[in-house]
């Protein structure tokens, strides 16, 4: 998924998906960014070009933890950042393979992204 266009006047965000549109992620974006989010499908080529451009950008208000951590480790890290920032608000979402935590202090957000382990289904359960 990639952000395509943002209209700040009415808080409208357009995001593109190269495969199936993940409605859970779209809902998470709406909740954590307080924006109306519209999803569309983009080509694999457009997705790759957008991802290459995003990788080259600075993301000072975002911290991504690529290693899978235990729930306790994530909770302690979230607590530590919340205390350090003096966070007044904490929002959580779980789009696909990440736990997304948005901390707000003085109106400024900090996003923490924790990679989640793959979902495993017991024998006989639907996937």
Q: For the segment 7-20, what is each residue's pLDDT rounded down to a tens digit?
A: 989 989 999 898 88
pTM above 0.85, yes or no: no
What are 37's strand-pairing partners?
Answer: 13
Tell whether 44 and 68 lie within a shared domain: no
Is residue 70 helix, strand or coil? coil
Tell whether 45 and 87 lie within a shared domain: no
Tell whether 70 and 119 lie within a shared domain: yes
Sign, CA dihedral 87-63-1-40, equals positive
Contacts 24+ apart (CB under 8 A), 95-99: 95/22, 95/24, 95/25, 95/28, 95/29, 96/22, 96/24, 96/25, 99/74
Tell whether 107 and 121 lie within a shared domain: yes
Per the structure, the count of domains in the chain is 2
Tell whether 126 and 66 lie within a shared domain: yes
- Supply the range of the domain harboring residue 40: 1-57
Euclidean distance between CA atoms 28 and 24, whole angstroms: 6
Tell whether 76 and 35 lie within a shared domain: no
Percentage of residues in the chain with pLDDT exceeding 70? Answer: 91
Tell whether 82 and 22 lie within a shared domain: no
**Which of the residue ranges 54-58, 69-73, 83-87 would you say has the lowest mean pLDDT?**
54-58
Tell whether 47 and 72 lie within a shared domain: no
Tell whether 1 and 46 lie within a shared domain: yes
Average pLDDT score, the chain = 86
Euclidean distance between CA atoms 88 and 105, whole angstroms: 5
């Amino acid at each position: 998924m990639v952000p395509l266009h943002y209209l700040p006047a009415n808080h409208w965000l357009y995001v593109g998906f190269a495969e199936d549109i993940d409605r859970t992620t779209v809902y998470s974006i709406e909740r954590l960014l307080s924006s109306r989010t519209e999803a569309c499908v983009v080509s694999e080529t457009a997705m790759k070009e957008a991802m290459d451009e995003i990788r080259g950008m600075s993301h000072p208000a975002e911290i991504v933890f690529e290693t899978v951590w235990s729930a306790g480790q994530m909770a302690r890290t979230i607590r530590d950042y919340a205390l350090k920032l003096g966070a007044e608000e904490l929002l959580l979402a779980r789009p696909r393979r990440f736990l997304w935590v948005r901390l707000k202090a003085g109106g400024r957000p900090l996003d923490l992204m924790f990679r989640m382990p793959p979902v495993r289904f017991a024998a006989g359960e639907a996937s």
